[in-house]
Amino acid sequence: MSENCFVRQEASLDIIANVTNFCSECYNVIQEHEVIFYDMQNYRYLCETCKQSFQEKLDSNCELIENETEPLF
């Protein structure tokens, strides 16, 4: 079983209101409906730009999960 690194999600109002409203790396404000990525190793949300730069450094075994319909929270 490969290790999952990021979960792709669309930022809902629930996430923005209850979890985070900014990227944990660059602190850009997350807008509703923006595509965001949950970092499963560090338990934080990243914007697409930061996720891409992190993914390049991570193990290639990491697997991106497409999960836009089932929220984590």
Counting residues that bind Zn ion (by CB under 5 A) gives 5
Q: Which of 8, 10, 25, 65 binds Zn ion (CB under 5 A)?
A: 25
| Residue with token string 């697409």 | 48
Return phi, psi of residue 53, to 5°. Answer: -70, -35
16 scored as a contact of Zn ion (CB under 5 A)? no
Return d(Cα 50, Cα 31) in angstroms, integer. 15
Instruction: Check residue 25 and report its DSSP letter.
Output: T
Check binding of 7 to Zn ion (CB under 5 A).
no
Closest CB to Zn ion among residues 16, 47: 47
Binding site for Zn ion (CB under 5 A): 23, 25-26, 47, 50
